[in-house]
Structure 1
Amino acid sequence: MAKNLEIKSDQLSHEHIVIVRPPPPRYTLNEWHLNHQHRERCCLDQQKLAELVTQEADRVREEVEERIKSNKDETDKQIENRRIDIEFNAVEIQKQRKDVCIEIDDLKTYMERIKDCLASLQRNAKVICGKCIILREGRIGIDLCEDDVEHELKAELNIIEGSQKMLQSTLEEANEQVRRLKSVTYFMDRDLEDKGNVAKIDNHNSILKETSLNLSMYHGFTPLNQGFITNEEWEEFTKNNIEKASKEINSARQFRTYTDIIIRQAFQDLWNQYHAVNNAFKQRIREIRKAKNKMEVQHSEVVRQANEMTRTITELEKCMSEKEGFMALAHTRLGNRAQRPGMELCKDLVEIALTHETVELRRNLSKTQEVFAEAQASLRYLLKTQIQLEEDLNVKTNSLKIDEVDCMTLRESLDYHAY
């Protein structure tokens, strides 16, 4: 519209025509008064409204400032309470963690005890027991028998192997217990690390003021309150960690008590069997020594009797040699008297005496020969018995050397003690 008027004005100016504006509107006096009253009422209304707004603004500002201050104080209080809670829980976790670490060290000490027991049984007890069994295989003759010593040695070997299995199983359980304790320590360390980071954040937040520098407004769309875990869940999590640690500590302490019982029982069983084997050895050594002493006495007696029998045989030979002279004398006399002539060849008393002497000599010589044969047989049996006794004495000497010298000397280095 204005553009059209300008165009027309330009056209009229070219035509030398002047446009006169219409006169302003004319108002009445009554309208003037009404307008003046209206303006005055509006001014008063605006002033009243401004006063009300000012009062309301002051009230709202004071209320907002009071609420903001109250909220900030409450937030500061909650931050401080939270910091105290975190510190308290952290201290409790640290105490429990210290107990767990102490228990881990104690369990490792017990594991070393078990390993020492196993090593000692493997390198000392089992080797010595096996050597004793092998050495006793060197017995010879009738002494190579299954006696009480062999039974006790085999029982000792079984007890050693059984103790090894039991201790190995206990060692595996100890490893598992240590693993569980370390797992608890890991989760407590993570919890302590998280609580430490939160404490740093809350400590930093506690020193921030509304006038602090480097404050910023967030204009993003993602909510700043990312927390989705309730305070009860948070407390329950820490409580569960502490309770789990306490449970594992109690379990470890019970296991250490159980380990003490196992080691003590194994030690007692091994020690009892050690004495049983030694007593069996001593009893067997006494039996062998008694038998050996008896054999030595018998051997001495047999040697004596053999010597006497040898002398007896010599005397019998001498006796038979002498009797042969008497026999030859009688036969010669009879032969000479058989040459008597005629009626002189009669059975006179001399003939009868010589005949009787010859019969008696033959009977005595035969009897002496029988005794001589029996003496020779007896001497052979005595010499055979002497040889057998000497062989048996060698067997007993060998057995005594194996049991008393070799095995008992080995067993002196056998050491069972509670680790």
Structure 2
Amino acid sequence: MRGRWRHPTSGTHGRLNSTPHQRHITPPCPRGNPTGAFADRDQSERQRHESQQLAAETEALAQRTQEDSTRKVGERLQDLQCWKSELQHEVDELVAETALLLAQKQRLERSLDATAVPFSIATDNLQCRERRQHPDLVRDYVEMELLKEAELIRNIQELLKRTIMQAVNQIRLNREQKETCEMDWSDKVEAYNIDETCARYHNQSTEVQFHLHSTKLEESASTPETWAKFTQENLCRAERERLASVNLRGLIDCILRDVAEDLRLQCDAVNLAYGHRCEELEDARLKLEQHLRKTLLEITEQEHSVAALKQAIKDKEMPLKVAQTRLYQRSHRPNVELCRDNAQFRLVSEVEELNMSLTALREKLLEAEQSLRNLEDTRMSLEKDIAVKTNSLFIDRQKCMTHRTRYPTILQLSGYQ
């Protein structure tokens, strides 16, 4: 209608063209006169001008907004790249650390296997020494050192088994943290590829299209703070486990070094005890052999003495027979001729002297024969003691000490071989 007022231009234009004062809008004039035509042209010209200005402003706004979004995506790419690098670095560190810990675990296993030989040697030595004979079958300092060695090896084996289990557990934790970091890294790689694709989009891209509901945020979406905290916690846990692995490797080094030193020191102590014991046995055997030689000589001399005494007794038989025969014959003298003359008295005293001599010789013979029997018993005892010492020497020197030459080296006990 010609005589009605029109409303101002759209509200969107009013919001974008934020002028500080309200513009005055002249109501249109009737179209049939020159004044109305002028007003229509003026209004149309203003609308065209405002439309051009609005288009320019929206174009500039869209361009600025797109540039800002592109810049924000680029910053996000930088953040992703930074976290990716840190995660990749931590994964590489964990892989290297796990490999080193695996090598230490293998050293522990080799060291545990190497302790089987010393334990077998110690137990075999103890069993061999059970075959010693009395009086050498005693708990001497060699046996005490062997028992100490066997107990030490058992304790070391338990320690190595516990340390192996600790290493296995730490390797599992390292791998779990590595997998966690790899999953985080993989997610960031995927996010990086998506954002990199988004950063390449521009107004001439052919892949873009309308997505009406793309502005809706997922309820499970994280915030920049929780996003950064998640990765930071993963890195902290990974670093904590890696440092624990480094400390465990240091502990394993100390354990293996101490184990090897303790076993070799105890081995040297046992060998030294064996050396002293063998010297004692050898010295005792030599002294026994000397006593045996002297005893054998004395037995020979005593046998000669017994033979001489027997001969002396035998030699007194004929004079006694002669004297007794004389007395017997003279007892047949007739009548007054049976006189106690000097010859009679001398013959009687001769018989008494001979009997006394025979008695003394027989007593001495009994003593000599008893001494000879004692010497024979001593000889048998000495020979038995020498046999016992020889057997003990054979067990300690030929059996035990020869077996101990198979004792592992320091490198083997340390798990290097």
- Pairing of 1:318-329 with structure 2 (within 5 A): 318-329=311-322
Q: CA RMSD in A?
A: 1.8
Cα distance in structure 2, aligned partners of 1:153 and 1:264: 22
Residue pair 1:270, 1:416 contacting (<8 A) in 2 also? no
- Pairing of 1:78-97 with structure 2 (within 5 A): 78-97=72-91
Residue pair 1:306, 1:379 contacting (<8 A) in 2 also? yes
| TM-score, structure 2 as length reference | 0.88
2:276 aligned residue: 283
Q: 1:105 is aligned with what amino acid?
A: A
2:162 aligned residue: 169
2:363 aligned residue: 370
Match of 1:136 among 110, 129, 132: 129
2:261 aligned residue: 268
Deviation at 1:42, TM superposition (A): 4.2
1:181 aligned residue: 174
State the SS of the aligned residue for 2:115. helix
Q: 1:119 is aligned with what amino acid?
A: D
1:414 aligned residue: 407
Label 1:134 to 1:36 Cα distance change in 2 as closer, same or farther (>3 A). closer
Cα distance in structure 1, aligned partners of 2:376 and 2:218: 114
Cα distance in structure 2, aligned partners of 1:316 and 1:269: 69
State the SS of the aligned residue for 1:141. coil
Match of 2:373 among 380, 384, 387: 380
Deviation at 1:165, TM superposition (A): 0.4
Q: 2:158 is aligned with what amino acid?
A: K
> Which runs of no fewer than 5 residues in structure 2 stay unpaired?
1-28
2:111 aligned residue: 117
Match of 1:159 among 152, 158, 161: 152
Residue pair 1:310, 1:379 contacting (<8 A) in 2 also? yes
Cα distance in structure 2, aligned partners of 1:201 and 1:310: 118
Of 264-273 and 105-114, more deviation after overlay is shown by 264-273
Cα distance in structure 2, aligned partners of 1:332 and 1:229: 146
Match of 1:397 among 376, 390, 393: 390
Residue pair 2:31, 2:37 contacting (<8 A) in 1 also? no
- Pairing of 1:336-375 with structure 2 (within 5 A): 336-375=329-368
Cα distance in structure 1, aligned partners of 2:33 and 2:398: 139
Deviation at 1:102, TM superposition (A): 0.9
Label 1:38 to 1:356 Cα distance change in 2 as closer, same or farther (>3 A). same
- Pairing of 1:57-68 with structure 2 (within 5 A): 57-68=51-62
Deviation at 1:341, TM superposition (A): 2.4
Identity, in percent, stands at: 28
2:245 aligned residue: 252
2:68 aligned residue: 74
* Count of residues in correspondence between the two structures: 384
2:142 aligned residue: 149
Deviation at 1:211, TM superposition (A): 2.0
Kindly name which structure, 1 or 2, has the bigger radius of gyration based on alpha carbons.
Answer: 1
Cα distance in structure 1, aligned partners of 2:278 and 2:214: 97
Q: 1:171 is aligned with what amino acid?
A: I
> Which digits, 9 at most, give the CA deviation of each residue in 1:213-252, with x for residues without a partner?
1322123488256672111221222222222222222111
Match of 1:105 among 99, 103, 110: 99
State the SS of the aligned residue for 1:403. helix
